[in-house]
Structure 1
Amino acid sequence: MRFGILGPVEVATDHGPGTIARPRHRALLAYLLLHPGQVVTSGQLIEAMWGGAEPSSARSQIHVALSELRRALRERGLDEVIETRPGGYLLALGEDDLDADVFRRHVEAARDLRRHGKAEDSAKRLRTALGLWRGHALADITAAYAHAARQALHEQRLSAHEALAETELLLGRHDALLPELGKLVEEHPLRERLVCHLMLAQYRAGMRAEALRTARRLRERLVEEQGLDPGTRFTELEKAVLDADPALDPPAGAVTVQAPPAGTTPAQLPLDAWGFTGRARELADLDLLTDARDTPPVVLVVGSPGVGKTALAVHWAHRHRDRFPDGQLYANLRGFDQDRAPLQPYDILRRFLSALGVEPGAVPEDVDEAAALFRSTLARRRVLLVLDNARSADQVRPLLPGSADCTVLVTSRNRLRALVAREGARPLPLGPLTEDEAAALVRTAMAGRAAPDGTAALAGGTPAGDDGCDLAARQVAQRCAYLPLALRLAAAQLIGQRHLTVADYARQLTTGDPLAVLDEHGDLDGAVSAAFRLSYQALPPGTRRLFRLLSLVPGQDFGPAAAAALLGVTLAEARPRLEELCIGHLVSEHRPGRYTMHDLLRSYAVSAFETDEPESGREEAARRLVDFYAETVYEAYPLLQPRRLAGEREIVHPPRERPLFADRAAALDWHDQELENLVGVVALTGARGWHRRAWQSAADLLAYFIIRRRWPEWLTVLRTGLLAAESSGEPEAVAHMRNALGVVHKQLGRYDEAREHYRRAIELAAEAGNPRMVAAFNANLGGLAINEGDLEAGLRHLRIALSVPEYGHDPQYAVAAYINLGCALIDSERYPAAEEALRRALAFAEAVDDAQQACYAHHNLAEIALREGDRSAARRHAEQQLRLAEEIGDPLRTASAHDSLASALVHEDRAAALAQWRAARRVYRELGHRIADVLDEWLAVLDTLDDPAWLAAADESRRRRCRHLI
């Protein structure tokens, strides 16, 4: 394609896509492009340019402008494109010279393919057609004719979107369509055909209520804005949704979606319960209830606390894990945790999508859109989901897959009737063990227990295995209300206290008050409370204290170092106490090196914490935990990014020991494992009024969140940090938090909010008299302006930043500003100046050993080399970028390096270039990044581009589209 009007007007030459500098010349060219092969008179051109308000010199101005336009085209190697004909002028175009013509042919071909039953090929053609659009048609044309022409082109684009939606719905891709259709309806809320497609997609994705809300919004807007009722097609669809008409279901066998590329295969099941005993009938029931038919089986295991719901679900899951080769997902929804709020569906969706290989930054912010992405990711996969401790049907519903190949086990103390009624969940009530099963569990758990003299265990003086032992085991089972949790604690006590007979222990269990958490379950008769109390009191004092203090841990699990920090001891001193808790089943090691506590035990620990731990001891332990996490993050920072916050640090209890990270990957892995605790500790710090520590901790997490792109969690942390900074009365602290909030909002595409945060940060830094901060925040504001397309404003802010000596002369700070400056100059097509800025950035990055910024510099230097036709230099920079990106473990920069390397190679080794583009697409797809779709389109049309000049021009146009998507 040599000309483009589906966006700003473009002219492709041997040196790549460009534009016509003079606005009038550009407007004349665009008008001729709208009428290819037609003779256009001078009068038509005058009317088009001025709309009836032309000056007296209009005709001569047109002649001069056309002459200059021809010269400009000749300079680009486009001779004799505009021909003079009797009566006017004619623009001679080849079949594929204009992007709008290529777009129309793809759309027509897609319609033919659809008519012939080739829906998959039709959808591909439509996506290729829509991929030709670079923004608003004729975006840089303001002549009188432009508005009507632009509207006509956009009507064609919307029709193509509607045709694509119909085709994708036919193919069963309703889940994947939801985000795209939602955005289109938001932009065109009165377009009934689009709204109907969105309603049908929502209905098929299990969002019937949302489909009806979409219908109601259209009705209200039509009445308010046009005084009209919707059409027949809409009203019929609305009624069908209300009636849950089976005709709305996808056609049988229509789903032809290919399974998404496999990312990480999750294996999240906790350890199976040791010595699992009994439940043969329930396990057989689970086998029957999970027998998939046409819908994903959802089984609800419901019962009272401690009855063994989790143990049953996890045991069954381990027995059948081979049925789910694409992974097993597990989450404790914390529905009944007295000390912590239940987890929200969106938080679980982010975790699950991350485990399935979706890059966190690619997860939509809206819970319904995230749920749709989750269903799409699970399509055609066989995955088991165990959703433990659910509080309500609303907490579970967004987590349900749409694929019949998946199975869901839900455990809850509540009956979740709405989940049964609306989602077809199959309930499995779980009661206590039978007397025989409970006694067998005690005997199994105690197998091999040695008596003081080395003989078999004694039960009331009777050898193990005799009737007396069995009777005592049955007494213990009865005292524990036949509940597995209490029975395991009882068995652990007996194993740990060799001199205690089973009969004596049974007698001890008759005393004790019930746990507050079990008050509503009177049938338990205080048995679990008694078992907890005896287990707790049997511990040595130091271990009892650790059990109490562990209730301060905000996350679902923790490592040994956190336990040591709570006690203020070394790891070597903490490990035996942690092991004693594991032996007593008061905590469990649910995966190597990570420990967790049953929610009932956590509740007991909280009550013991309140009664047995002095207030001063609680505060000191909380501060030790805070300081442990804060100092570990602070010391890891240089491995992630060389720049970190300077200033006095508020350390009350320096940790006796903390993790030491060998490299960047190890530091990132620790942050990943501790993410919930890191977010929770910042909240704990703010709640206790340790303001400086709170905002410094929030600031120190910047490097991790930038790399992992965990924007929602970072927003949570920064909001706490901002409140703490404001409470501390430190203007510079508030400025830091405001600047970081600007960074997050920019990454989320909320440019207005980002700009406000940056401006406020600049004001506060200026008030505090800190010129380096003023400069740094101006650099960020400049980068935002560049993203918005305001290059001059971007350059202005960057030059302000670089003019400050404390910033512009310091390599570790100035490097980012010079990279942003280089990007702005590239977009302005001022390549020599851009290269100078980027080479300075590269030198600064190397001086401070900042591999990440060096990566960015090489990427942009490769782009300049490609635009200037120096493929050898482009290849060198792309290879350097690839090496650095792989070294630091940055998948996004790895993908962009493969992309640049392919562009450098394509003219000399097409096969090697294709391999690089496929590698880039694979990484982008694993990240859930939208550039993967652009590369899909590119690889689909690449074989049609044989002419080297056309290939170079098309590739540059594609790269320009992608630059601001990264």
Structure 2
Amino acid sequence: MRFGVFGSVEVFGPDGPVSVGQPRHRALLGWLLLHPNQVATPERLIEALWGGAEPSSAMSQLHVAVSTLRRALRELGMVDVIRTRPGGYLVSLSEDDLDATVFDRYVNDARAAHRRGDWPMSAELLRHALTLWRGDALAGVTAPYAATARRRLHESRLAAQALLAEAELALGHHDDLVGELQDLVRQHPEHEQLVCQLMLAQHRCGRRSDALSTARSYRRRLADEQGLDPGAQFTELEKAILTADRSLDLAAPARDAPQRTAASPAQLPFDVHDFAGRKREMDQLDALLDPTGSCRLVLISGTAGVGKTALALRWAHRVREQFPDGQLYVNLRGFDARRPPAQTLTVLHYFLRSLGLEPAAFPADVDEAAALFRSRLVGRRVLIVLDNAANTEQVRPLLPGIASCPALLTSRNRLPSLIAHEGARLLQLTPMRREEATLLLRRMLTRGASDAAVEQLATRCAYLPLALRLAAAQLICHDHLTVAEYVDQLGERDALSLLDHGVDDDVAVSSAFGVSYQTLTPQGQHLFRMLGLIPGPDFTPPVAAALTGRSEAALRAPLTELIAANLVTEYLPRRYLLHDLLRSYAERICATEESETDRHAAALRLVHFYDQTVFDAYPLLMPRRPDTRRETIQPPVRSLRFTDRGAALTWIDHERDNLIAVIQLAAERGWHHAVLQLTADLFAYFVIRRRWTEWLAALRIARESAEATSDIAAAARVENAFGVLHKQSGRFDLAELHYRRAIDLATTAGEERAAGAFTVNLAGLRVGQGHGAEAVEMLRLALTYPAYRDNPQYAITAQVNLACALIALERNDEAASALDEALTAAFTLGDLQNACIIYANLVEVALRRGQHQTARKYAEEQLRLAEELGDPLRTAVARDNLASTLLPDEPDIARQHWAEAHRIYLELHHPLSDVLGPWLATLSSFADRDELISSDDLRRQRARRQL
């Protein structure tokens, strides 16, 4: 699940539940979640939030709330959840996204099980549904709609509790039920069904007097408070208890239940204790292996410890009554570290004996035995479970020949031949979802623990059922240890070692992984070991090639082998990952089976691959390279080359987290020049994409590397990058501090061109701070450095900042002249970034001169370049400028551009959202056109200071 309303309105991010936005924002999210996949008009949302007492700024507040929610969701990795549609907004949810939707599905399934008398299944589903509740629904939401919605949700919860009590009574769990029912009746004394269930539970526990006392209390309360008599169900039950009617006793099992014979085997092992979750997978098995026999073979495949056997047995137990002629089960031991795989002929003899055939009639040939086995199944409905298959050859003779006897197969391998030639349907089992993993831990643990601690433990176990069960077992055996303390230990030590501590090898997580690893070819084993060196969250074939020093073509077969063995997952086209525990195992065997020299060389190749790729992409993003000394790493690694800037930006977008991890890896290994080099090479990307959090992380690592190497020139570049970052994000005091440090360090290092460039950056900042005259002096100072002044690329930046200063000083003609000259130079050099900035300033000059059509032409070019660059802040500024040019003639279109600009400002957490937001809210209050244009002039002057 991703969202919850059963408690406070929360979003379940990667680190647990998060409350987003302010109370009104959460109220809006709550309403949208309760009305998923349907368009809600702004008027309807305003009515829900304010109930007819909305303020004049309600529409603006609604837009801000939507933008805030979108930004918060995007930060949690949830893109395009709240969508704008003609007429309003729509929240797009799948069936598993919201706790209320999941709850309804479980309850509906439980009612279906209830109707067919499957009390265990009904109870299981209802217990799972009720664990989704975290407190009062919509807790903390005070909007007018909340009371009605909250009451409806709580009524659904109460109905589920009553249905669960009925199932538990049918199962004979009255002893455990009395206390729970007493609490429910205390909370809902008017609920007659709960009162009746409590009376029946008390009666079956031999507490007849308590049952009658409960009845008297209910009668008295009903008469005193409502002047009513109880209903017929209550009256009949009360009378039956008074007369000790034997019909109230738990029904005995039917005497005519079918008796199994030797030819009706029931070989399923015990159902898994504390089974949790996997509702979606159970439904998939229901659909594939339905009673009509639409499919005769299903393969459950997944990595070691993912719960394949548990799922197969849980489903087989659930449907066993549909196979009255028996259930056959065998563990084929395909991945057993202690015993060899089961021999196919031996298994066939075992099955034939189970079906009533005398051993003297067993064929000695596999094919003959397989044919006889298929013959014995004709006319029967038998379920066959083949667990832990090693390969297709082991399995094929064991398959039935008729659809009425389906086979359920589990294997760590995907067995493509079985899928291609036998028509097997593949159910790929992945680690549990977070809520399933935490539910499993809750069921196994006998002690209380905070939700956060349990969720952290589930995360550390990579949501892998085997690891979750071992962790719970460790906690049960060490009752002095809290869940939080155990989680801390997992974080401080090798998680695999801690999970396996004191555990037999045949059930240890690392042993399970080890068996899969040993089945690989030498090429597959080597690739798997090398993947343990990857510091980031995922990898691509070029990264694997860099690690191993081999070509992508040479790695195609071993990579396919790892995927087939479920040791690697392809979660996007050509993007792969190992879950955390498999990654830890790969690291461990890499450390023991690869020499330090080989590990060092592989890590160096990885760093060089990323650095060289980003360096080669730099000219596509920004024409001026950073002034850094490059080192050649041997042996050379084949880097990626991009044909256009869009491809380069997209690649870095996908690799951003990996790049930060590689920078950290280089720092840990003491390769400080590589850290400084790669961070400098990423400057153009971060300037364009405005990914300030990741940029800040990289710069902090780079600053430590500069200090470690006493590289003053590098430290100056890092400080300048800090200044650019803080200026972009609107923190001007910090930007000024870092620019001044950068100038001082560059001067000390004798880097004249850098000192000039950093001085120009500071001058541009001072213009935005309202100090135009001081900025002009700084620019003159920068141009005294010949190394800076004589470089055309740097001169463009100086001219642009000079024009900004002149605009601030209202010397518009001089500013226009400087901008025209700078624009010509920018296009000559292909400097689209500066060209975009120049057009923004030309718009300002034209508007100050009252030349709206000219300004519009410049703004349209500015927007075109900003979108071509892929720079979100420049795009927002361009839309803002274009709206100002359209205001006199097309105010409605202008308002649309402002709304989109405001949305982007909000997403970027930029201070300009505070400038544009109030302006948007008061647009309709201006009396005439001239007043509106004049007010926009003042707003833009204030906005310029923010840039």
TM-score range, shorter chain: 0.5 to 0.7
Structure 2 residue 541 is matched with structure 1 residue 541: no
CA deviation after TM superposition for structure 1 residue 307, in Å: 11
Structure 2 residue 228 is matched with structure 1 residue 294: no
CA deviation after TM superposition for structure 1 residue 796, in Å: 2.0
Structure 2 residue 382 is matched with structure 1 residue 459: no
- Relative distance call for 1:934 and 1:841 in structure 2 (3 A) is same
CA deviation after TM superposition for structure 1 residue 520, in Å: 4.0
**Once the two structures are superposed, what CA deviation does each residue of 1:25-63 show, in whole Å capped at 9, x if it has no partner?**
xxxxxxxxxxxxxxxxxxxxxxxxxxxxxxxxxxxxxxx
Structure 2 CA distance for aligned equivalents of residues 267 and 833 of structure 1 = 62
Structure 2 CA distance for aligned equivalents of residues 741 and 318 of structure 1 = 52
CA deviation after TM superposition for structure 1 residue 727, in Å: 2.6
Aligned partner of 1:736: which letter? R
CA deviation after TM superposition for structure 1 residue 730, in Å: 3.0
Structure 1 CA distance for aligned equivalents of residues 509 and 699 of structure 2 = 41
1:863 maps to 844
Query: What SS is found at the alignment partner of 1:522?
Result: coil
1:640 maps to 621
Structure 2 residue 583 is matched with structure 1 residue 602: yes
Aligned partner of 1:812: which letter? Q
Structure 2 residue 695 is matched with structure 1 residue 726: no
User: Unpaired segments of 5 or more residues in structure 2?
Assistant: 1-46, 72-85, 98-119, 140-152, 158-271, 286-304, 320-326, 335-341, 354-369, 371-382, 391-408, 422-494
| 1:400-439 matched pairs, under 5 angstroms | 432-433=310-311, 435=313
Structure 1 CA distance for aligned equivalents of residues 785 and 674 of structure 2 = 30
Structure 2 CA distance for aligned equivalents of residues 802 and 445 of structure 1 = 83
- Relative distance call for 1:176 and 1:882 in structure 2 (3 A) is closer
1:963 maps to 944
1:330 maps to none
CA deviation after TM superposition for structure 1 residue 537, in Å: 1.7
**Once the two structures are superposed, what CA deviation does each residue of 1:263-312 show, in whole Å capped at 9, x if it has no partner?**
9999999xxxxxxxxx9887775455448972499x9xxxxxx9999994
1:661 maps to 642
1:558 maps to 539
Structure 2 residue 895 is matched with structure 1 residue 908: no
Structure 1 CA distance for aligned equivalents of residues 732 and 883 of structure 2 = 32
Aligned partner of 1:672: which letter? D
- Relative distance call for 1:676 and 1:810 in structure 2 (3 A) is same
Question: Aligned-residue CA RMSD in angstroms?
Answer: 4.9
Structure 1 CA distance for aligned equivalents of residues 888 and 64 of structure 2 = 39
Aligned partner of 2:344: which letter? A
- Relative distance call for 1:307 and 1:718 in structure 2 (3 A) is farther
- Relative distance call for 1:574 and 1:953 in structure 2 (3 A) is same
Structure 2 CA distance for aligned equivalents of residues 463 and 534 of structure 1 = 25
- Relative distance call for 1:629 and 1:284 in structure 2 (3 A) is farther
- Relative distance call for 1:711 and 1:832 in structure 2 (3 A) is same
Structure 2 CA distance for aligned equivalents of residues 808 and 267 of structure 1 = 62
User: Which one of 787, 796, 799 corresponds to residue 777 of structure 2?
Assistant: 796
- Relative distance call for 1:896 and 1:174 in structure 2 (3 A) is closer
CA deviation after TM superposition for structure 1 residue 568, in Å: 0.9
1:589 maps to 570
Structure 1 stretch displaced more, 690-699 or 807-816: 807-816
2:364 maps to none
| 1:37-76 matched pairs, under 5 angstroms | none
| C-alpha contact 1:626 1:685 (8 A) present in aligned 2 | yes
Structure label with greater radius of gyration: 2
- Relative distance call for 1:649 and 1:260 in structure 2 (3 A) is farther
1:773 maps to 754
**Once the two structures are superposed, what CA deviation does each residue of 1:170-219 show, in whole Å capped at 9, x if it has no partner?**
x9989979x9xxxxxxxxxxxxxxxxxxxxxxxxxxxxxxxxxxxxxxxx
**Once the two structures are superposed, what CA deviation does each residue of 1:61-115 show, in whole Å capped at 9, x if it has no partner?**
xxxxxxxxxxxxxxxxxxxxxxxxxxxxxxxxxxxxxxxxxxxxxxxxxxxx9xx
Query: What SS is found at the alignment partner of 2:54?
Result: helix
CA deviation after TM superposition for structure 1 residue 541, in Å: 1.6
Query: What SS is found at the alignment partner of 2:576?
Result: strand
- Relative distance call for 1:487 and 1:606 in structure 2 (3 A) is farther
Structure 1 CA distance for aligned equivalents of residues 847 and 800 of structure 2 = 18
1:876 maps to 857
CA deviation after TM superposition for structure 1 residue 630, in Å: 0.8
1:522 maps to 503
> What percent of counterpart residues are identical?
41
CA deviation after TM superposition for structure 1 residue 584, in Å: 0.7
User: Which one of 594, 599, 616 corresponds to residue 618 of structure 1?
Assistant: 599
1:952 maps to 933
1:489 maps to 412
Structure 2 CA distance for aligned equivalents of residues 939 and 577 of structure 1 = 58
1:689 maps to 670
**Once the two structures are superposed, what CA deviation does each residue of 1:116-138 show, in whole Å capped at 9, x if it has no partner?**
9864225559x99xxxxxxxxxx
CA deviation after TM superposition for structure 1 residue 490, in Å: 6.6
2:214 maps to none
- Relative distance call for 1:841 and 1:718 in structure 2 (3 A) is same
CA deviation after TM superposition for structure 1 residue 757, in Å: 2.8
User: Unpaired segments of 5 or more residues in structure 1?
Assistant: 1-112, 129-167, 180-257, 270-278, 300-305, 320-411, 414-428, 450-456, 478-485, 499-513
- Relative distance call for 1:926 and 1:786 in structure 2 (3 A) is same
1:120 maps to 54
Structure 2 CA distance for aligned equivalents of residues 472 and 264 of structure 1 = 39
| C-alpha contact 1:627 1:653 (8 A) present in aligned 2 | no
Aligned partner of 2:801: which letter? N
- Relative distance call for 1:518 and 1:938 in structure 2 (3 A) is closer
Structure 2 CA distance for aligned equivalents of residues 493 and 910 of structure 1 = 62
- Relative distance call for 1:906 and 1:620 in structure 2 (3 A) is same
CA deviation after TM superposition for structure 1 residue 431, in Å: 11
Query: What SS is found at the alignment partner of 2:55?
Result: helix
Structure 2 CA distance for aligned equivalents of residues 903 and 837 of structure 1 = 23
CA deviation after TM superposition for structure 1 residue 805, in Å: 3.1
Structure 2 residue 770 is matched with structure 1 residue 847: no
User: Which one of 845, 852, 875 corresponds to residue 894 of structure 1?
Assistant: 875
Structure 1 CA distance for aligned equivalents of residues 283 and 804 of structure 2 = 51
Structure 2 CA distance for aligned equivalents of residues 876 and 173 of structure 1 = 33
CA deviation after TM superposition for structure 1 residue 702, in Å: 1.0
| C-alpha contact 1:762 1:778 (8 A) present in aligned 2 | yes
2:737 maps to 756
Query: What SS is found at the alignment partner of 1:964?
Result: helix
- Relative distance call for 1:869 and 1:176 in structure 2 (3 A) is closer
- Relative distance call for 1:267 and 1:882 in structure 2 (3 A) is farther
Query: What SS is found at the alignment partner of 1:120?
Result: coil
**Once the two structures are superposed, what CA deviation does each residue of 1:638-685 show, in whole Å capped at 9, x if it has no partner?**
122111223442232466433332322222221121111100100111
Aligned partner of 2:832: which letter? A
| C-alpha contact 1:695 1:733 (8 A) present in aligned 2 | yes
Provide TM-score, normalisation by structure 1: 0.52
Aligned partner of 1:489: which letter? R
Aligned partner of 2:830: which letter? D
Structure 2 CA distance for aligned equivalents of residues 916 and 750 of structure 1 = 25
Query: What SS is found at the alignment partner of 2:756?
Result: helix
Structure 1 CA distance for aligned equivalents of residues 827 and 837 of structure 2 = 12
| Structure of higher RCO (CA pairs closer than 8 Å, 6+ residues apart) | 1
- Relative distance call for 1:718 and 1:124 in structure 2 (3 A) is same
User: Which one of 685, 692, 700 corresponds to residue 704 of structure 1?
Assistant: 685
- Relative distance call for 1:754 and 1:766 in structure 2 (3 A) is same
1:675 maps to 656
- Relative distance call for 1:716 and 1:943 in structure 2 (3 A) is closer
Structure 1 CA distance for aligned equivalents of residues 51 and 801 of structure 2 = 49
Aligned partner of 2:877: which letter? S
Aligned partner of 2:746: which letter? A
Structure 2 CA distance for aligned equivalents of residues 775 and 430 of structure 1 = 65
